[in-house]
Structure 1
């Protein structure tokens, strides 16, 4: 007679879509999360990059980093099918692109498939001089215009690794609450 031991199995990874304008730092962030390495030279993502990592002992995320150039944005909707959370990254050191980012975010959030999907906004490059605050970015993106949406915003630096683990721990919590 052997006592039964309950082993908590890890669930299959949840799909997370990482979107944002070109040069926001999405590929740098994904590389940093997957390898811990700093990626100094990136070229524009054509299509997507994808990788999975463990947030904790029972939670894994598969992150799809989707190209952000203007020509790629009409294709964003094709990545939403199994999406459990949307991570939208902005370059907080480039206020001139916030109206464009706001328009891109509004368009993707209009997709029916994202109706009940939580949103994490990452304000990247906060370590740069003159970077906008998360409050300024929240206002510029019009996040308060989405009362039905569960969203969070966090400052980070993909290059320095600041705030990344915390952000994706929060993403995992948002998914669990869903």
Structure 2
């Protein structure tokens, strides 16, 4: 379980799901895709909007948001609002932009 926690972090907020991916971990991005796919198939997440944080963008070999989008298969998601935001948790870069998007999506659902 500790290994998985280093790879990704997931948080449910209302009808929104935040999925955090280590953009620097190319070896386990397929594992992240499998976990995301499994989670999105769960009944309680059927209508959840998805925010993906592509974290660790400050590292030189980090995959950018477009590459993470491809690796996670986000374009294949149908009937689900999703957004990917490049982030650096240590500096806070991108966090507020992603949370603003999620907040707006949740407001529009009401």
TM-score in same-fold range (> 0.5): yes
Displaced runs of 4 or more, over 4 A = none
- What residue number does 1:53 align with? none
Query: Given that residues 122 and 154 in structure 1 are in contact (C-alpha distance below 8 angstroms), is that contact kept between their aligned partners in structure 2?
Result: yes
Task: Please tell me whether residue 136 in structure 1 is matched to residue 64 in structure 2.
Answer: no
Task: Give RMSD over aligned pairs.
Answer: 1.8
- What residue number does 1:8 align with? none
Q: CA deviation at 1:176?
A: 1.2
Q: CA deviation at 1:86?
A: 0.0
Stretches of structure 1 that go unaligned for 5 or more consecutive residues are: 1-20, 27-64, 67-79
**Bigger fraction of residues in helix:** 2
TM-score norm. by structure 2 comes to 0.87
Judged with a 3 Å threshold, the aligned counterparts in structure 2 of structure 1 residues 25 and 98 are, in CA distance, closer, same or farther, namely closer
2:22 to 91, 95, 101: 91
Greater CA radius of gyration, 1 or 2?
A: 1
In structure 2, C-alpha distance between the alignment counterparts of 1:24 and 1:96, rounded to whole Å: 10
- For these two proteins, the number of residue pairs brought into alignment is 106
